[in-house]
Structure 1
Amino acid sequence: MGGAQNPFLIAQQQVRNAVVALGESEELYDLLKAPAHFVEVQIPVRMDDGTLRVFTGYRSQHLTTLGPAKGGIRFHPAVTADEVKALSMWMTFKTSVVGLPYGGGKGGVIVDPRRLSRGELERLARGYVREIWPFIGPDKDIPAPDVNTNAQIMAWMVDEYEKIVGCSCPAVFTGKPLALGGSLGRNEATGRGTVIAVREAMNYLGLPLKGARVAIQGFGNAGQFAGLLLEEYGAVVVAVSDSRGGILCPAGVPVADLIAYKQATGSVVGYPGSRETDQAGVLTADCDILIPAALENQIDAEVARHIRARVVAEAANGPTTPDGDLVLAQRNIFVIPDILANAGGVTVSYFEWVQNRNQLYWTEEEVNARLEQKMVESFRQVVATAERHGAYSRTAAYMYAIHRIAEGLRVRGLLHTPARHLRRIAAGQ
């Protein structure tokens, strides 16, 4: 599997492909090719043994002309500036494809949180907020959980922010605990959104979801909930991996049992009756639906040549490299791109923000119904764009998202209409 490709360059190429396919000008690419704002901070943390460690953190705001930036914060030893920039770009297009009034943001800290005590983790979370607080706010930039961060870390962060600004401000972070204004349905939102998209894709392709075999690479929050919800539709999970390795269960594995096993042992590896494999083995398992739910650059051309799934639903951000994309397109494998497949999380984060701003909270049924509506409509718009332009699904998703962004930029006077579009308008097309 690939791992060395620069995600920022990949994101830029995806934007260029869509801009060209739309017949838009170089002006639009120039506006979208890099973050509008990027900050690097140093976070001093007093460790439990009394020593001082300084961690590097980032916050990227890709586009804020259509609304505040929105995006998670990840704690991971492999975080880089270019990764955070790319993720903020993907967030712009993700929020656009599901029609949210946001631009893209993303944050990260270079750290292995597994090596920190709970106290050290809290001091790091609060220290990050002390460094970036002037750049965030409910009308500026609204962070949320991401890789290795969770509702508890958001609680520490919102508490620190409120201490600094001197007032209650729950809408500055989403993904919070319910006690601090979190939304019902948020925890499973990414997995639920992925499953809605998978269900729509299978219907579109005329394939049955009941009895479909599913492989899941990455068994964190999104992967676990996707597995549970697909099981409710009658699908069968036959391969799963986490950071320690993978397992194959051709006869199927009860997802709740596997979650309990991982909670008890720390990994899916060794699950009774399974056969051990590696990450590539899960990605290329004999299945109908593949859900990459881990990190970037997992499906390169070599892996793509051996994928047996009919549908690939990208619950992770950027799991497919450009050369992998070419192979998947050539093999006519239906890809639900990340900016659509995993948009359930940011959609329910938006619902949380709306509830915080209005101080009026919805039931879980209301949240799930609103998420269903957003995901189904967005899926259908992307498919319609693909059919209208004869475009690959990823390019179509970017085309749809970027078209919406371009219209917003035009009415603000930030982008000219290309001459070819003016001629079409004059011709009534």
Structure 2
Amino acid sequence: MSNLSYVNNNNGAWQTYLTQIERVAPYLSEDLQDYIDTLKRPKRALIVDVPIVMDDGSIQHFEGYRVQHNLSRGPGKGGIRYHPDVELGEVMALSAWMTIKTAVVNLPFGGAKGGIRVDPRKLSVRELERLTRRFTSEISHIIGPQQDIPAPDVGTNPRIMGWMMDTFSTGQGHTVTGVVTGKPVHLGGSLGRVRATGRGVFVTGVQAAQRIKLPVEGSRVAVQGFGNVGSEAAFLFNKAQAKVVCVQDHTGTIFNPEGLDIKSLQAYVAETQGIVGFEGAQAISNDAFWDVEMDILVPAALEGQITVERAKTLTAKLILEGANGPTYPEADDELQKRGITVVPDVICNAGGVTVSYFEWVQDMASYFWSESEINERLDKLMIQAIDDVWQTSETNQCSLRTAAYILACERILKARKERGIFPG
């Protein structure tokens, strides 16, 4: 049985991931196929109750999760998501994609993910801190610098990571900076971490554009999601003389065929918390976003955004998956049929976990690097990773996504095979 009986998520993110694994199986050697079921179930899934005292004195309960999908290649690595739609199947899928992602970039980590079903915007700062500290205490027995290292994700930030680090450290009796990454710099965080995922999207995008002979300068870019990932990718493309013509976030969609002033838009969003109302563009409907004339699409919001219907009409020549799982498998088929190149999430948005790895290394050594050193190391790893994936794609005559999974699954399953099964 490939799915798990307690996840009623047949059409969700977990099923998308399972389909991706099924598609890569024929490309693996026979001895590794014997171990492929390892990737179809998480190693450990923890569901916790998170009760907190609200500011008005009432008690509310929230449901939290931490899933460790695979630890064959090292400690678990993956973010913590605060969002009203968080549920077990989604967290399982996100943890599995982290397993693939760390293996594609060849980091010494496994995959994990966590989250709480909550709208953090509805909590006060004090309530958010209580929620974070209680959740950390509930999962503290399965996290740690050599076990599982959380990081920020949707709805969380460096401040929340600081609270997690402090709570865990209190239980240990000493400061443990390496238990989380994405912390404030003065608490052991790394320079360049906040912008790393968006930078990775840009770096891999430039490499892919060169290979398909698409000039970045003058190209039209559409970005869905304008948080850390989308805004940084948009800024770097804009800096490279591309025209960011359309941006969508949770407040709406804005469009300017001549290109948006991204630096001004970033300042506007920092002040208003949304893109709608920005004077340098016109508002259009959210559905119209998918019909905009574009050369490069950067989906950097949530999973499940590119459906078959949207894939049939997209004008993009290159899609850079800044979000996790934004494309359904059937849509992938349609995009490949139409000759649209997709740089998959497991490599395209791996800049964040790569700099998280750098942060973890720096914490372990108590020796910190400059931002220019970090960006140089990041660019080098990302370029090497997409080179490896592109070569695997050409060798196997398959999509970049399948190629990324071939590379990752080979590395993960070889580690599983060589470690053996205990007891024998």
Q: Same fold (TM over 0.5)?
A: yes
With 260-269 and 143-152 compared, the bigger mean Cα shift is at: 260-269
Give the residue type in structure 2 aligned to 1:41.
V
- 2:301 alignment partner in structure 1: 294
Deviations along 1:87-129, whole A, 9 cap, x unmatched?
Answer: 0000000000001000000001000001000000000010110
- 1:425 alignment partner in structure 2: none
CA gap of 1:278–1:23, structure 2 versus 1, over 3 A, is: farther
Cα separation, 2, equivalents of 1:279 and 1:388: 39
Cα separation, 2, equivalents of 1:277 and 1:397: 35
Cα separation, 2, equivalents of 1:322 and 1:357: 39
Report the Cα offset of residue 240 of structure 1. Answer: 0.1
Aligned pairs for 1:164-175 within 5 A: 164-175=171-182
Give the residue type in structure 2 aligned to 1:12.
L
Aligned pairs for 1:180-199 within 5 A: 180-199=187-206
Aligned pairs for 1:350-389 within 5 A: 350-389=357-396
Cα separation, 1, equivalents of 2:70 and 2:332: 26
Report the Cα offset of residue 269 of structure 1. Answer: 1.6
Q: Secondary structure at the match of 1:78?
A: coil
Decide which of 9, 19, 28 is 2:25's aligned counterpart: 19
Give the residue type in structure 1 aligned to 2:395.
R
CA RMSD for the aligned pairs? 1.4
Give the residue type in structure 1 aligned to 2:215.
P
- 2:6 alignment partner in structure 1: none
5+ residue gaps, structure 2, are: 1-8
- 2:156 alignment partner in structure 1: 149
- 2:228 alignment partner in structure 1: 221
Deviations along 1:206-242, whole A, 9 cap, x unmatched?
Answer: 1211111110000111001111111121111000010
Deviations along 1:57-77, whole A, 9 cap, x unmatched?
Answer: 000001112100000000000
Give the residue type in structure 2 aligned to 1:386.
S
Give the residue type in structure 1 aligned to 2:45.
F
Matched, 1:8 2:41: no
Report the Cα offset of residue 278 of structure 1. Answer: 3.3
Cα separation, 2, equivalents of 1:381 and 1:283: 31
- 1:418 alignment partner in structure 2: none
The runs of 4+ residues in structure 1 deviating greater than 3 Å are 23-26
Cα separation, 2, equivalents of 1:194 and 1:175: 18
TM-score (norm 2): 0.95
Q: Secondary structure at the match of 2:64?
A: strand
Give the residue type in structure 1 aligned to 2:390.
V
Aligned pairs for 1:303-322 within 5 A: 303-322=310-329
Report the Cα offset of residue 273 of structure 1. Answer: 4.4
Cα separation, 1, equivalents of 2:280 and 2:189: 39
- 1:426 alignment partner in structure 2: none
Cα separation, 1, equivalents of 2:203 and 2:271: 30
Cα separation, 1, equivalents of 2:84 and 2:124: 16
Cα separation, 2, equivalents of 1:310 and 1:289: 6
- 1:162 alignment partner in structure 2: 169
Cα separation, 2, equivalents of 1:363 and 1:252: 33
Aligned pairs for 1:68-217 within 5 A: 68-217=75-224
Decide which of 366, 389, 409 is 1:402's aligned counterpart: 409
CA contact (8 A) 1:336 1:393 kept: yes
Q: Secondary structure at the match of 2:194?
A: coil
Cα separation, 1, equivalents of 2:382 and 2:82: 28
CA contact (8 A) 2:261 2:280 kept: no
Cα separation, 1, equivalents of 2:302 and 2:139: 25
TM-score (norm 1): 0.94
Number of equivalent positions: 413
With 361-370 and 3-12 compared, the bigger mean Cα shift is at: 3-12
Report the Cα offset of residue 279 of structure 1. Answer: 3.4
Matched, 1:255 2:262: yes
Cα separation, 2, equivalents of 1:101 and 1:21: 23
Cα separation, 1, equivalents of 2:242 and 2:215: 9
Q: Secondary structure at the match of 1:252?
A: coil
Percentage identity across paired residues of the two chains? 46
Report the Cα offset of residue 283 of structure 1. Answer: 3.2
Q: Secondary structure at the match of 1:237?
A: strand
Matched, 1:411 2:418: yes
Report the Cα offset of residue 323 of structure 1. Answer: 1.4
Matched, 1:246 2:247: no
